[in-house]
Each structure stands twice: as structure tokens, then as C-alpha cells.
Chains A and B, each alone.
Chain A
Amino acid sequence: MHDFIERITAYVHWALFLLLEALSGFLLFQYNHYQGSVWFTQANIVAAQVHEWEADVLSYLRMPAENAALVERNIILQHQNDLLRHTAPSQPTLKGRESHGQAASPLMGDLEGYLIPARIIDNSVRKKDNMLVIDIGSNDGVEPEMGVVSGTGVVGIISAVTPHYALVMSILNSHSSISCRLRGTEYFGYLKWKGGSPLRASMDDVPRHAHIRKGDIVETSGFSAVFPPGIFLGKVAEVKNSGDGMAYELEILLSTDLANIRHVAVINNHSKAELDSLHRQ
């Protein structure tokens, strides 16, 4: 005990030194305007830098949730955009290009509440028949034949589900065929991928009398119950004749880079279509 007290007292002067220096520092910054202001600004710069780092780290950590929310918001907006376009036929850009009435879509109205966010856990773009796996399954309400979309456009269609995962047939699959149309017209066709670049697909069976320009937007037609109308697919990159010369074959630059996506959403079209049909009765 005696030793202990001796040891403590041997270091008392250090504590006293720190205390007196702290007191001097306090007096220095409290009562000297110049030093106080320099200290204040420098301390603020340091604090601001630390806060910036903190914000960077936090925003990075929050990114997955924000991405999922953005994907959902984007899809909803695309769909709302499409609905607005069709309820405002006098809009100058569409004048003269609008066809006679809107095709009856099984997926009408707002999409809000019908999107199930998901993350891609396995993906391929180099094969002939590419598939994806997402981290939600039947337990989350996912069923085969539901559409899968990302913030930039269509990704694929659910082909099989397990309780926790779902297998998605990518649009980069030789068996994939998505009903699509040229925006602002009712010329429709089917989007197919014939191998090669994962950024290019083709749209067949476009009638020869259609006026098509490079850069025209291709979107889902809404003819099937899988995708609502107006979801982006891509833009017309080239217009070619089909093999039999009876129609055009359009080369489409896809809006979604499937090699570079992580967050998607599944459109719960089953309950949505059911509810919409109930509304129409």
C-alpha cells in the first residue's frame, strides 16, 4: 500500500503539469481574440473534415438501401410517365403519332406497392442462355412469370422459385421474348437476344410502313401480364430488313447494362392484375 501511494505521488507532478497547461490553453483561447478565432476556425475545419469522412462512410453504408429505393422509384416513375402520356393525347410531341386508343393492359394504374426489391446474387452475360439469381423467393411473394426490372429498364422474367431465391431468365437469353413497342406509336414487336454483345438485342416484326428513326425509344407494350406498359428497354440503334423482306428488324441498344447491375425489383403482377380486373368490373 505504501509502495502504491509512493508510486502515485511520484507521478502527481505530471497530472499537475497537464492541468496547468490545460488551464493556460483555456485562458489563451478564451481571452485572446486572435488565438481564439484561429483556434475556432482551425478546430472547425478539422471538425468539418471529420464530419465529411463520417458522412462519406455512412452514405456508403446506406447505399444498398438507397439503391433499392431508387430502383423502385425509377420504375414507378417510368410507369407513371407512361400513364400520363396516354392521358394527355394533345401533347405536341405525340401529336400525329398516337394511334387509335390504348391497348388494354392487364397492368393499369399505379405500380406503387407492387414492387418487391431484390439483390442479384448470381449473374451471367457471356453465355447463350443467361440466367440470374435474386435473393428473394416464394416466401417473399415471388412467383414464376413475374417481371424483373431495374432502375434503367427490363431485366428478365422469373422462371423458377425456391422459398428464398428466384431464378430469372435474363433478356440476354435465347428463349426470352419480351413484348415491346416503339414509344408514342402502337407499332409493337418482340425483343429477342441473338447472342453477341450484352448491350444489343433486336426487335422483330415491325411493319414496313412504320416510320422509324434511330434513337426512337423502345418500351414494354403492356400486352402481356408480365410487364406494365412504358418500362424502358432501349433505343433503336439500327433499322434493317428482316430475312423475308416483309418487315423491319430493329437493332436495339439496351438501356440496362446487365453486366453491371445489383439492385432490381420484381413486379408482383399477379395480385396487381387481379386487383385491376376487380376495379374494372
Chain B
Amino acid sequence: MILPILKRMAWALLLLLVQVLVMDQVHPWGYGAPLLCPLIVITLPKGTSRSAALLWGFGTGIIADIFAGTAGISSAALTLIALLQPPLLELTAPRDSEEELHPSFSTMGRWNYLRFIILLLLIHHVIYFTLEGFSYFFLTDIAISMGVSYAASLLLIVIIEHVRSPKK
């Protein structure tokens, strides 16, 4: 019971370190940095209680916010996708999937998992960049930042998940 939680915490810590030390320093063409933290919420296994998922999302967000100096932004966006993750996983996971399914390319299938990532990541980025910009006056800038960061995040997450996914 404790071991999976510790493994998950180690995974979250690793992603947070990469986010803070590497990703937050990268700004493609001067626009938004890639965001890897959503992956911590995306990969929560099926069967995680909804309250636990929310705490994972909020906790991850708070740590990311502390290091990035974006108080409340990551935590709000990650808490929202943590609320949506369990029902979306139910929808996109194959019907005959196991009770404690760990979302990945190998367990869910390439397209199902990709769809799942695309959707949750999109919701996360919309909320994140809306809160960060917080004004309709900079709508174009916000949209470009969001688009660049979304594309970079999606690419990196797909690569990470491909590497992490056990080969069949």
C-alpha cells in the first residue's frame, strides 16, 4: 500500500525537478515554457479515489507554483484536471481494462492514451494561461504562449511516455 505511493511521490518529485530546473528555463521563441506537471495527474491509476486525485493535483501544483513564482496558477489548473481525470479515464480506457489500470500507451492503446493526454493537457493549458494572462487585452499573446507551450508539452510528454512505456 505504501510502496506504490512512495513510487508515485518519487515520480512526481522527478517530474517537478525537471520542470523547475530545466523546463522553466526554456521558453521556445520567447513564449510559454513546456509544462510537464500535468503528467503527474494524467498517470494517476484507475481506482484512485477522487479526493486523493484532487490532493495529488493540488499538492503538485503548489510545489510547482512555489518554485516558478506562480502562486495559485498551477494548483488551480492541476486541481481541475485532477477532478476530470478519473471520469475521462473511465471513458477512454478499454472496457476490458484491469481494475487498477496505470494509464500508459501499452495499457490503454496508442490512440486511447493519446486522446486522453491531448484532452487533459488542453484543459490544463487553457486554465493555466488564462489565469497567467488574466486579461482579454493580451488575447493574442496568451493564445500564442498557450499554443507553443501546449505543442512543446505534448511532444515531450509523448516522448517520455514512449520511453516509460514497457515494450510488449
Contacts and interface: CB of A to CB of B under 8 A. Distances in A.
Given A13-B54, A27-B65, A35-B134, A21 B71 contact: no
A48 interface: no
Interface residues of B, number: 21
A27 B134 contact: no
Contacts of B75: 20, 23-24, 27
Interface string B52-65: 00110110010001
B71 A28 contact: yes
Contacts of A27: 65, 71-72, 75
Main secondary structure of the interface of A (DSSP, over half): helix
B140 interface: no
A223 interface: no
A77 B71 CA distance: 63
B76 interface: yes
Interface string B24-62: 000000000000000000000000011100110110010
B51 A13 contact: yes
A84 interface: no
Given A16-B54, A38-B134, A29 B72 contact: yes
A17 interface: yes
Interface in A1-56: 12-13, 16-17, 20-21, 23-32, 34-35, 38-39
B134 to A, nearest CB: 5
Interface of B is mostly: helix
A31 B72 contact: yes
A43 to B, nearest CB: 13
Contact of A35 (B55, B57, B79, B131): B131
B122 interface: no
A16 to B, nearest CB: 5
A27 B78 CA distance: 14
A31 B73 CA distance: 11
B139 to A, nearest CB: 14
A79 to B, nearest CB: 59
A21 B70 contact: no
Contacts of B55: 16, 20
Interface in A140-192: none
Interface string A267-281: 000000000000000
Given A13-B83, A17-B79, A20-B58, A28 B73 contact: yes
Contact of B50 (A13, A23, A30): A13
B140 to A, nearest CB: 18
B76 A25 contact: yes
Nearest to B83: A17
Nearest to B49: A13
A24 B72 contact: yes
Contacts of B80: 21
A21 B76 contact: yes
Contacts of B54: 13, 16-17, 20
A93 B155 CA distance: 91
A35 B128 CA distance: 13
Contacts of B58: 20, 23-24
Interface of B: 49-51, 54-55, 57-58, 61, 65, 70-73, 75-76, 79-80, 83, 131, 134-135
